[in-house]
Amino acid sequence: MKATYHFPSDFLWGTATAGYQVEGNNTNCNWYAWEEEGKIIKGQRSGLACDWWGGRWQEDFDRAASGGQKAHRLSIEWSRVQPAPDRWDEQAIDKYREILRGLRERGLMPVVTLHHFTEPLWITELGGWEKENIQNAFKSYVQKIVEALKDYVNLWITINEPNIYTVSSYILGDFPPGKKNLLTAAKVATNLVRAHAMAYQIIHKIQPTARVGVAHNYHAMKPKRSWSPFDIIATHQVFSILNELFPNALVDGLVRFPIRHIRIPEAKSTQDFFGLNYYTKEYLSFNLRKPKHVFIQRSHDPHAELSDTAFIANEPEGFFEAMKWSRKYNLPIIITENGVENADDSLRPSYLAHHVHQLWRAVNFNWPVIGYLHWTLVDNFEWERGWTQRFGLWELDVETQARTKRSSADFYAEICYENGLSTEMVEKYAPGVLDEIFPQLG
């Protein structure tokens, strides 16, 4: 017997990238300085990355279009378009116009992120997101870019994963500026909420029909020891801060920290869609020997399949949980990132099959999920983890810039063209999970 899980006819399939990770040779931003300090694993450098700034975006977009994709998420590098406080680089802005026009010409809808973890060095020198004066700088940047690119873009993401940015940059110290201070992190989180609210208003003033959102990273989590009150309380606290602080603030204008609440009324009702990033599920335990990690120890289900560096566990039920949780915000949901690092492509096909199946379950329940953007199109520079993680549907040889198609690229193309997931696809690309995804046919 054969069967197919079909999606609505207007469902949006695509991939996602970020500017710094694919463009290459961006020497004027905080992440390049971070590389210069040797803060990347094994001392690796981004270098040319995927050489998009050199023009190789064209061939990669050709691959996306030929694979049946209809959308692509990318980001603007603030440091390229405003290299100094008093100067705009019009040539860089023209290049972004060219890239977005290239997407449109290939039938790919652009989804543009304005801040994806990076900012110009001069912003860092002014104190970055710790200082309230970044609001004026971000306001000027948003106004300039939206005015310049509005003819090509109708879907805007103001800030990518503000929760991950705050935690990684100001609590764990893995991202620049590498600080570890809870009070500073709270200040940064508050400034990010204000920045989003301001950007939302600016975009709608310039482009009333635009749809604006944030890409929220959802961490599925459970107490490791269900009997332990310490694990239960720790998981509840982490969940409320990591998953809910930002999206809740954009509903009612209230930033809820454990000790105090901060009212930002202008942030109320400032999302037109809910951007959802999901990768894995974790199990949390309270551990006094982990002060650098706020006394939280994270682990994966010991029975779950793990990615190459054990960064991600294949936990598709967590994806369903993430979409179920997102429904409470009463907005259309776009999956703005989902994927797995797996260089030899042994895990990605089953991960993809499992997660697309959970996606279909959500859509079949009439939950308002309207699109799915896979992370990522081609291997790119994975932040502090450098080139040690390979998320691409296409493999990248960093030395030669050669692209090699992985079998999951063909699998995803079949999903996009069929607008669904079929028994034939799963049997061809991920036969080991056929009985799980189509149990009635097993």
- At 239 the pLDDT is 96
Q: What is the count of structural domains for the chain?
A: 1
What predicted TM-score, i.e. pTM, was given to this entire model? 0.98
Distance CA 261, CA 270 (A): 19
Residue 402 covered by a domain: yes
- At 184 the pLDDT is 97
Residue 425 covered by a domain: no
Domain that holds residue 324: 11-411
- At 187 the pLDDT is 97
Distance CA 439, CA 442 (A): 5
Distance CA 11, CA 362 (A): 13
Residue 198 covered by a domain: yes
- At 284 the pLDDT is 95
- At 294 the pLDDT is 82
Distance CA 42, CA 389 (A): 12
Residue 219 covered by a domain: yes
- At 441 the pLDDT is 58
Residue 101 covered by a domain: yes
Distance CA 398, CA 374 (A): 21
- At 141 the pLDDT is 98
Chain center to CA of 174: 17
Domain at 327, CATH number: 3.20.20.80
- At 13 the pLDDT is 99
Size of the chain in residues? 442
Residue 428 covered by a domain: no
Query: One digit per residue, pLDDT tens: the chain, 442 residues?
Result: 899 999 999 999 999 999 999 999 999 999 999 999 999 999 999 999 999 999 999 999 999 999 999 999 999 999 999 999 999 999 999 999 999 999 999 999 999 999 999 999 999 999 999 999 999 999 999 999 999 999 999 999 999 999 999 999 999 999 999 999 999 999 999 999 999 999 999 999 999 999 999 999 999 999 999 999 999 999 999 999 999 999 999 999 999 998 899 999 999 999 999 999 999 999 999 998 888 788 899 999 999 999 999 999 999 999 999 999 999 999 999 999 999 999 999 999 999 999 999 999 999 999 999 999 999 999 999 999 999 999 999 999 999 999 999 999 999 999 999 999 999 999 999 999 999 999 975 4
Distance CA 7, CA 418 (A): 9
- At 291 the pLDDT is 85
Instruction: Give long-range contacts, CB 8 A cutoff, 24+ apart: 176-185.
Output: 176/30, 176/31, 176/33, 176/34, 176/39, 176/124, 177/30, 177/124, 177/128, 178/34, 178/39, 180/292, 182/294, 184/130
Residue 29 covered by a domain: yes
Tokens of 337: 């990132």
Asked whether the beta carbons of 81 and 123 are under 8 A apart, the reply is: no
Residue 365 covered by a domain: yes
